[in-house]
């Protein structure tokens, strides 16, 4: 079992499989990998790392990027993962039409799909992508039963902060069809140059909380999930949030095979690319030993 110095048990693994992307979202945090190395791990290397974490008690794995569906061998990558309680992927959805069914057959449990706007021209301006391809990708994911699907909406001041209600309604329509779709309202990480777009999603949360018939607190980051007429709306608020950090049970692996203890730090990476067995596990324990809450409430 992996437990860090702050008594946080590591149960979730997030592996980036590429830093290439087919969109150009100006706000992208790139999973904390700001220098593209051009190095990608092979399916075998990814599988070896996932296996070691699985044997050490990690329950869920998420494949991310860049855009994971740009990897031509993405189905093989998923197929070669060991069995976890959940294997998920976060994607912009543009290529889901092509891959959803094969990914399901390969063992993918569910997807998160990024969707910041329901306005096609705004979506195009924000991301450079075609809105109708994402919508079609969502429908294909529904048909392939990659559910529950989570729609990820990053809220940005003056850009899409007025679209939350519409997004809740869009999500509810799936639930009324009996399809489990959850809306994740995500706070913008204040990277340099993004301060002007920061929007306090606590304001949205207060409004949703008033109307909700029920709510629960998830173990992961103590995220709050509210139910509106049966539709779940979850809030992801990492900024300056000590509660978020003290309940973080996630660890990351970068595209070039380095264990990353925290999204917001890259000064304590541990290289594990190509390692196997006990040597790999030793490095995993070393990386876990370096974990500390980014927002700790101290000075």
Residues forming contacts to ligand SAM in the complex (CB under 6 A) are: 21, 27-31, 64-65, 67, 90-92, 114, 152, 154, 186, 188-189, 191
Supply the minimum distance, in Å, between the C-beta of residue 66 and ligand SAM. Answer: 6
| Nearest residue (CB) to ligand SAM, 30 versus 54 | 30
Residue 186 Cβ vs ligand SAM, minimum distance, rounded to whole Å: 5
Residue 67 C-beta: closest distance to ligand SAM, Å: 4
Q: How far is the CB of 141 from ligand SAM (least distance, A)?
A: 13
Taking the least distance from each CB to ligand SAM, the nearer of 104 and 252 is 252
Nearer to ligand SAM, 157 or 281 (CB): 157
In the complex with ligand SAM, which residue's Cβ is closer, 21 or 269?
21
Q: In what order do the strands lie in the sheet with 181-187?
A: 214-217, 224-228, 231-236, 181-187, 149-155, 110-114, 86-91, 60-64, 12-16, 250-253, 258-260, 270-271
Choose between 114 and 249: whose C-beta lies nearer to ligand SAM.
Answer: 114
- Count the Cβ atoms, other than its own, within 10 Å of residue 79: 16
Tell me how far apart the alpha carbons of residues 51 and 80 are, in angstroms, rounded to a whole number. Answer: 10
Instruction: State the Cα–Cα distance between residues 285 and 99, nearest whole angstrom.
Output: 35
Query: CB of 275 within 8 A of CB of 283?
Result: yes
| R_g of the chain, CA atoms, integer Å | 18
Give, to the nearest 10 degrees, the angle between helix 131-143 and helix 120-127: 100
**Beta carbon of residue 296, minimum distance to ligand SAM (angstroms, whole number):** 20
């Amino acid at each position: 079992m992996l437990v860090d110095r702050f008594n946080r048990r590591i149960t979730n693994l997030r592996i980036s499989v590429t830093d290439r992307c087919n969109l150009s979202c100006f706000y992208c945090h790139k999973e904390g990998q700001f220098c593209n190395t051009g190095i990608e791990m092979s399916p075998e290397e990814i599988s070896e790392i996932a296996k070691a974490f699985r044997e050490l008690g990690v329950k869920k794995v998420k494949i991310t990027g860049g855009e994971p569906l740009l990897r031509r061998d993405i189905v093989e990558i998923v197929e070669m993962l060991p069995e976890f309680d959940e294997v998920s992927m976060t994607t912009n959805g543009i290529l889901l039409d092509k891959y959803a069914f094969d990914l399901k057959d390969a063992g993918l449990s569910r997807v998160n799909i990024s969707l910041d706007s329901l306005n096609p021209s705004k979506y195009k301006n924000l991301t450079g992508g075609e809105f109708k391809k994402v919508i079609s990708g969502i429908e294909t994911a529904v048909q392939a039963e990659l559910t529950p699907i989570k729609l990820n909406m990053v809220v940005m001041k003056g850009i899409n902060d007025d679209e939350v209600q519409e997004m809740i309604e869009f999500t509810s329509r799936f639930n009324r069809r009996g399809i489990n779709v959850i809306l994740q309202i995500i706070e913008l990480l204040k990277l340099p140059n993004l301060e002007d777009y920061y929007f306090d999603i606590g304001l949205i949360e207060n409004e949703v909380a008033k109307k909700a018939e029920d709510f629960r607190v998830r173990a992961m980051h103590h995220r709050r999930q509210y139910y509106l007429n049966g539709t779940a709306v979850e809030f992801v608020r990492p900024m300056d949030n000590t509660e978020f950090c003290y309940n973080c049970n996630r660890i990351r692996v970068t595209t070039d095979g380095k264990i990353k203890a925290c999204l917001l730090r890259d000064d304590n990476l541990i290289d594990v690319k190509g390692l196997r067995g006990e040597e790999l596990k030793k490095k995993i324990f070393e990386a876990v030993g370096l974990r500390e809450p980014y927002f700790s409430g101290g000075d």
